[in-house]
Amino acid sequence: MKLRTLTSALLIAGVSAGVQAAPQQPVFTEALDIEERYAYSLIEAMLSLVAMNVEHTGKCSGSYNANVRVSQNGSFAVANIDDVDMTATDAGDVFSATKGTKIVVRGAGELGDVDVSGLEVTSAYDFYGTMAYMDGDAVLDGDAFDEHVIKDFWEVDAITDPVPPPGTSDHIVLDYGYELITKLGYPRAKYDQTSYLWRSNGGNGYILIDKHLIAPDPRNNPCWITYTALVGDFAGGMQTISGKVSLDTHGDNGNGGEPNL
């Protein structure tokens, strides 16, 4: 999948008669709405759990159903992947009231035949939902893992690669970032990530997220983690995201490179 170059406008204060002008107020576009922040927190927690499990089992294969339900204000936000149930709530500290949104995801259950306990992932978004940092822990069969994510979001009008799913709107959010998986505090694996959100607009929307192992050397240990999902339009104040996580060592999701949307 190509990584496209995104450009953003910069506002520059002018200088007149040798006197510096007062700085202009920056003009920002909100990238992620509040319900999208809750949804992405849950989705990222599911994908991080899968990445931790790859390190735990040494296997990059198979697939899991991974679904999310979230209300328009985020007051109700739940997800499940395989037999692991997760809930997202406001982290409830000063950060969420002054600078942005801070969300905590907690969960437990079984992923395949692996016991998952103590899952807790905290996501911190800036005020405009254009940047996020995520930090989490989970215990898999008694082994303690951590995950750390940093990513940026952009809202764009249109893209051509990948080909937009049929019937989607022009309201698209892209993201690019990195994830680090650690065990007992030591780095074990690093992924880069791209995501595409085609927002619902009176109909269905779509999500495509692609994680690619970049360390250790992916030529010796390749792994791609792909999430594809149908985003239902809000009905009764609730949105349902029905998705699937697929793992493979070829980077084509077993579908010739085309997303399973």
Q: Tell me the pLDDT of the chain averaged across its residues.
A: 83
Which ranges in the chain belong to alpha helices (H)? 34-57, 94-98
In a 10 Å sphere around its CB, with 0-12 CB exposed, 13-18 middle and 19+ buried, how is residue 50 labelled? buried
How many whole angstroms separate alpha carbon 129 and alpha carbon 121?
A: 17
- pLDDT-derived band at 156, boundaries 50, 70, 90: confident
In the block, residue with structure tokens 């995520």: 134
What domains can be seen in the chain, in order of their start residue? 29-248 (2.40.160.40)
**Cis (ω within 30 of 0) for the bond into 162?**
yes
For the segment 49-76, the average pLDDT, to the nearest whole number, is 95
> For 227, phi and psi rounded to 5 degrees?
-120, 125
What percent of the chain has a predicted confidence (pLDDT) above 70?
81
Residue 184 pLDDT > 60: yes
How many whole angstroms separate alpha carbon 232 and alpha carbon 68?
A: 10
Strand partners, 177: 151, 193
The whole-number pLDDT of residue 134 equals 95
